[in-house]
């Protein structure tokens, strides 16, 4: 019996406790505000309470008896206070030279005044987008094309300074603004620029190659000239050196004769003629017979002079 009573009590409390908290919440005793959210309470067309702090909040201390009927007869708006971001693609602007350009704008925003966000503008998000687009056209049109392609940081600052005061009136504060992309909207102009860039690169490449070839030619000509000068000096000094050496050799008769014998023998060995060796003290008839036999063997067409070895001294 006791167990049954305990179980019934547990079931009763598990039903009564959620029901009681729900009833207290509907009566406006308390409310729960989540992180990054804001609750705005209106009653009969007037704002009676704004809850920005997250957590469990008590409505009676702030609204008084109005909290009892605000959930029944009034309206509760839940506003998201977290940061949001938007990207505007290819915002059309014109450069100072008249080129049609496209600007890619990224910006972030957040709700700074929930009441103004709800009631000052019916579409604050769309109005902010239009304001950013108009500011981009006002600030970035008629800029030099080179500056438009190189100074995106200063362009972003110009757009942000132009938009921020207006957006704050609607309870929407603009955060960072950044120009992410600048491109040509005219495809024909883009192709013409590509052709000009390609032609310019070809010209620069050809100029670099020609300059390199010229430098190589100059270096080669200089090296050849120096080599020719050195060879001419060497050719001029060679007879002097050889003559001096022969003069010193000729002072010693035996050395000179030996040298000339060696040179003559070397020339004979290097020549392609037939060489016949005869004894040193042979009669004069033997060399003549050997020479005649050699000439007959080679034939008349291949007849050549046969050197005869000198008799040894």
The answer, yes or no, to whether residue 216 has pLDDT greater than 90, is yes
Q: What is the pLDDT of residue 312?
A: 42
CA distances from 205 to 78, 191, 198, 258 (A): 65, 21, 10, 68
Q: Which two tokens stand for residue 166?
A: 């207006």
Query: Confidence class of residue 281 from pLDDT cuts 50, 70 and 90?
Result: low
Give me the residues paired with residue 278 across strands: none
Q: What is the pLDDT of residue 309?
A: 45
State pLDDT tens for residues 119-156: 888 888 888 888 888 888 888 888 888 888 888 888 88
Give me the residues paired with residue 303 across strands: none
Q: What is the pLDDT of residue 283?
A: 60
Give me the residues paired with residue 84 across strands: 109
Q: Which two tokens stand for residue 105?
A: 């704008």
Q: What is the largest CA-CA distance in the chain?
A: 165
Q: What is the pLDDT of residue 10?
A: 78
State pLDDT tens for residues 78-127: 999 999 999 999 888 888 888 888 899 999 989 989 998 898 888 888 88
State pLDDT tens for residues 249-263: 888 888 888 888 898
Choose between 300 and 19: higher pLDDT: 19
Taking all residues of the chain, what is their mean pLDDT, rounded to a whole number? Answer: 83
- Average pLDDT of the residues in 7-34: 82
For the entire predicted model, the pTM comes to 0.55
Q: What is the pLDDT of residue 297?
A: 66
State pLDDT tens for residues 24-62: 878 778 888 999 999 999 988 889 989 988 998 888 888
Q: What is the pLDDT of residue 106?
A: 93
Of the candidates 148, 154, 221, 160, which has an alpha carbon nearest to the alpha carbon of residue 185?
A: 148
Of the candidates 110, 160, 109, which has an alpha carbon nearest to the alpha carbon of residue 138?
A: 160
State pLDDT tens for residues 300-311: 545 444 444 444
Q: What percent of the chain has pLDDT over 90?
A: 21
The Cα–Cα gap between 265 and 281 comes to: 20
Query: Confidence class of residue 280 from pLDDT cuts 50, 70 and 90?
Result: low
Q: What is the pLDDT of residue 77?
A: 92
The Cα–Cα gap between 162 and 213 comes to: 56
């Amino acid at each position: 019996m006791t167990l049954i009573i305990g179980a019934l009590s547990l079931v009763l409390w598990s039903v009564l406790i959620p029901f009681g908290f729900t009833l207290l919440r509907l009566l406006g005793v308390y409310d729960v505000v989540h992180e990054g959210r804001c609750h705005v309470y209106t009653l009969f067309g007037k704002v009676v309470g704004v809850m920005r702090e997250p957590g469990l909040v008590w409505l009676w201390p702030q609204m008084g008896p109005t909290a009892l009927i605000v959930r029944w007869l009034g309206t509760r708006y839940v506003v998201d206070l977290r940061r949001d971001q938007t990207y505007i693609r290819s915002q059309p602007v014109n450069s100072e030279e008249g080129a049609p350009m496209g600007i890619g704008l990224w910006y972030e925003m957040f709700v700074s005044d929930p009441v103004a966000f709800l009631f000052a503008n019916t579409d604050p998000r769309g109005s902010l987008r239009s304001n950013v687009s108009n500011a981009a056209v006002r600030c970035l049109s008629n800029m030099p094309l080179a500056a438009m392609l190189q100074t995106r940081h200063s362009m972003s600052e110009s757009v942000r300074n132009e938009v921020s005061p207006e957006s704050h009136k609607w309870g929407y504060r603009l955060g960072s603004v950044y120009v992410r992309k600048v491109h040509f909207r005219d495809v024909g102009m883009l192709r013409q620029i590509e052709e000009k860039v390609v032609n310019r690169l070809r010209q620069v490449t050809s100029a670099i190659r020609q300059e390199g070839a010229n430098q190589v030619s100059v270096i080669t000509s200089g090296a050849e000239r120096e080599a020719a000068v050195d060879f001419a000096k060497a050719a001029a000094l060679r007879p002097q050196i050889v003559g001096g050496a022969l003069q010193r050799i000729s002072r010693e008769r035996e050395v000179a004769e030996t040298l000339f014998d060696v040179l003559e023998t070397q020339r004979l060995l290097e020549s392609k003629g037939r060489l016949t060796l005869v004894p040193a003290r042979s009669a004069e008839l033997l060399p003549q017979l050997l020479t005649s036999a050699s000439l007959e063997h080679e034939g008349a067409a291949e007849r050549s002079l046969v050197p005869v070895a000198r008799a040894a001294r």
